[in-house]
Amino acid sequence: IVKAVAKEWRDLPNSEKKYWENMAMVDKTRYAREKEAYKGPLGKNLRAKKNPLAPKRPMSAFLMYAQKMRRVLQDQNPAMPNADISRLLGETWRNADLEEKQPFLDREEGERKIYRAKMDSWKNDQK
């Protein structure tokens, strides 16, 4: 494609080449002007920073499962890259039935209740 375009450019009469060169120059100056006027995003980080003293959120059921099973998979497949192990963990979690997931879901629910209580207490202390 590049060769065909280059050949067409070479075969173009000088008058048409001048037209396109002028258009390119106009566009280049427009770009430089717009680039100069651009101020960038409003701020680097618009999210509020987390208070390091606030209670930490509990892990999700999947993360608890992954934490437990990752070592087992790494021992069974020592040459498998970490990305593939993560992919395999995701697939096994998605395909697991509720009976397999339930201990992790129950643990997450319990930890979430504790987290909410700690968070409520912490918020009241902040007032």
pLDDT value of position 50: 83
pLDDT value of position 24: 96
Instruction: Write out pLDDT tens, residues 57-93.
Output: 999 999 999 999 999 999 998 899 999 999 999 999 9
Residue 104 domain-assigned? Answer: yes
Alpha helix ranges (H) inside the chain: 2-11, 14-37, 61-76, 82-95, 98-126
Residue 28 domain-assigned? Answer: yes
User: What is the span of the domain harbouring residue 72?
Assistant: 61-126
Residue 69 domain-assigned? Answer: yes
- For the beta carbon of residue 61, count every other beta carbon within 10 angstroms: 20
Same domain? For 65 and 100 the reply is yes
Instruction: Write out pLDDT tens, residues 40-61.
Output: 766 666 677 888 889 999 999 9
Same domain? For 29 and 65 the reply is no
Residue 50 domain-assigned? Answer: no
Number of domains in the chain: 2
Residue 89 domain-assigned? Answer: yes
Nearest Cα to 59, choosing from 48, 70, 45?
70
Same domain? For 70 and 24 the reply is no
Rounded to whole angstroms, the Cα distance separating 89 from 76 reads 13
Q: Which backbone phi and psi does 84 adopt, to 5 degrees?
A: -70, -35
pLDDT value of position 33: 93
Q: What is the CATH number of the domain that holds 74?
A: 1.10.30
Handedness of CA 77, 79, 82, 85 (dihedral sign): negative
Instruction: Write out pLDDT tens, residues 87-107.
Output: 999 999 999 999 999 999 999
pLDDT value of position 45: 65
- Does the pLDDT at position 34 exceed 80? yes
**What confidence category does residue 127 fall into, taking pLDDT thresholds of 50, 70 and 90?**
confident
Residue 46 domain-assigned? Answer: no
End-to-end CA distance of the chain: 68
Same domain? For 67 and 110 the reply is yes
